[in-house]
Amino acid sequence: MTSSTPDKQLLHIVIGGELKHPGTVEFANLADVHFVGAFPNYRAAYDAWKTAAQRTVDNAHVRYFILHAHRLLDPETGKQHDA
């Protein structure tokens, strides 16, 4: 697959859980973080995020996030970028 291929995989991960305080991004308990899944593109991750977030819409302490994991990896070599 070349970089010009429209279906190029761009890894996204969706996670969520209860936060210590609404408006922060610190989880109350890391052991309870919900791993929704890993997805090959943003659209699929967004759909999973939306489904998970809608299930917890009544709880202001629960948030779900899309992590752009492909930004941490070099797509040509699979090596992690130095931060």
Residues 6+ apart with CB under 8 A from 51: none
pLDDT at 1 over 50: no
* Predicted pLDDT at 5: 52
- Of the candidate CATH numbers 1.10.1130.10, 3.30.70.2400, 3.20.20.20, 3.30.56.10, the domain formed by 12-72 belongs to 3.30.70.2400
Tens of pLDDT along 46-59? 999 999 999 999 99
Those residues whose C-beta lies under 8 Å from the C-beta of residue 44, and which sit 6 or more positions away, are 12
Q: What is the pTM of this model?
A: 0.77
What's the pLDDT band for 83 if we cut at 50, 70, 90? very low
Picking from 7, 4, 8, the residue whose alpha carbon sits closest to that of residue 73 is 8
Query: What mean pLDDT do residues 25-45 have?
Result: 96
- Write down the pLDDT at residue 79: 61
